[in-house]
Structure 1
């Protein structure tokens, strides 16, 4: 059994490591090298795993699967390596690997704990790649738009999704992120101060939204650019006095999937 690590401790640890290296882009490969970790960028077939940390003969080995897009210095490869560094630096994870308690893949019996551990490693990666002090300095007094997310994602060499997650947590403007497949919402995440918490249809993407029109194959020319939407079209529990409140939505589609970032005008 591996005990959960408080997120505040993970944040403090990750950002201490990042800021120790006085570089805009956190040098994840160099961090691994300085810790004596053996890195392998190899092909392990797509759909198997992104990264895996193994403890063998008193040494740690990290395998990055290039067949799943985890190439060195790519946004995905950097996040995956940062995630694996989380397993190494977070005490409970490292001890779990050394004792054989933490295994690379979940089973039915340990899936809940496995998912919690993976979320901790993801949070470590986010804090390592986008330290709060640097990130907030980059957004200070900047007006929010999707262009800001694009700018930040390039500055930190992270994906749009990872950058939006970090912005929702520590940015200077409340946003909501919605991800859907085949017209159904798989998950959403919003800033603590975002004015709405519930979607109008819960799981089905509302039709009168940019994302909804994409899945309905209507007005697809508006996709991948910011468009005005109304609070009542996306959210539940909108007061009568707020029915004319407008938001901006930027939808990024990919085949049967789409991600929307929503913010108040």
Structure 2
């Protein structure tokens, strides 16, 4: 971003950044793909699926493809991205590098920390940050996990099965290992898979038991804790990202 002379990523449209870096941006319908990059002899063409409903997600996909352009032009000729390849939990590959590039381009660390400082965590904050940085709510959740003031845990479910989860280092509560199992029956994620329930904004912060997602020690009582779950649901792909946190 500094090379482009930009201090705030929302000051300039991404298509100008893409063009300035030597690629062409096209928006049209893509089947089974959210973004695509094709490398030619002199330039690359980045194509974004015009069916993406949310502008914030569209911007993140553009930034992700630009990451491929900057870092992987000598390793791939043509590449398609889906919701699976855009998933943050994947580590140690080109998709992770492209996600990290997009994250820092759209949400520079210094600006993100400043926007979070002193603000109480909850769904409203996640949505405010997504609006501030004009990116997807999901990308904000992962960025907040890394840089936010309040410790949160993340659990990603697909097709009614927990695929990945993560908790902060030295977090005092241990998450149950539910990998490849259905989300807990009393979780908000399970409500979507069992009843197709998606909470409206004003009710998206749902109180849960500690024992829903975490191990409850023999001397502990669920009533002594205040845990909450906020789910980012993508019905089209049958995915749920659960954000879980404790209020003290």
1:249, 1:238 → 2: CA distance? 20
1:239, 1:138 → 2: CA distance? 39
1:240, 1:16 → 2: CA distance? 53
| Structure 1 residue 237: Cα displacement | 5.9
Indicate if the aligned counterparts of 2:198 and 2:233 stay in contact, CA closer than 8 A: no
Q: Does 1:32 align with 2:18?
A: yes
SS in 2 for 1:165: helix
| Structure 1 residue 182: Cα displacement | 4.3
1:172, 1:17 → 2: CA distance? 29
TM-score using structure 2 length: 0.80
| Structure 1 residue 62: Cα displacement | 1.6
Question: 1:250 and 1:124, CA in 2 relative to 1: closer, same or farther beyond 3 A?
Answer: same
> What's the RMSD between the two structures over aligned residues?
3.1
Indicate if the aligned counterparts of 1:144 and 1:173 stay in contact, CA closer than 8 A: yes
Query: 1:164 aligns to what?
Result: 141
Equivalent of 2:38 in 39, 44, 54: 54
SS in 1 for 2:93: helix
Q: Does 1:22 align with 2:2?
A: no
| Structure 1 residue 105: Cα displacement | 5.4
| Structure 1 residue 132: Cα displacement | 0.5
Equivalent of 1:104 in 61, 68, 79: 79
SS in 2 for 1:96: coil
TM-score using structure 1 length: 0.75
Query: 1:41 aligns to what?
Result: 27
Q: Deviations over 1:232-263 (max 9, x none)?
A: 22113646236432211123445454332111
Indicate if the aligned counterparts of 2:153 and 2:166 stay in contact, CA closer than 8 A: yes
Query: 1:87 aligns to what?
Result: 68
1:80, 1:222 → 2: CA distance? 26
2:63, 2:226 → 1: CA distance? 37
Q: Deviations over 1:77-120 (max 9, x none)?
A: 21111011111222xx12324xx5xx4259xxxxxx99711111
Question: 1:42 and 1:115, CA in 2 relative to 1: closer, same or farther beyond 3 A?
Answer: farther
Q: Does 1:248 align with 2:247?
A: no
Question: 1:84 and 1:254, CA in 2 relative to 1: closer, same or farther beyond 3 A?
Answer: closer
Question: 1:201 and 1:22, CA in 2 relative to 1: closer, same or farther beyond 3 A?
Answer: closer
Between structure 1 and structure 2, the one with the greater Rg is 1
- Greater shift, 25-34 or 118-127, is seen at 25-34
| Structure 1 residue 216: Cα displacement | 3.5
Question: 1:215 and 1:22, CA in 2 relative to 1: closer, same or farther beyond 3 A?
Answer: same
Paired positions, count: 233
Query: 1:8 aligns to what?
Result: none
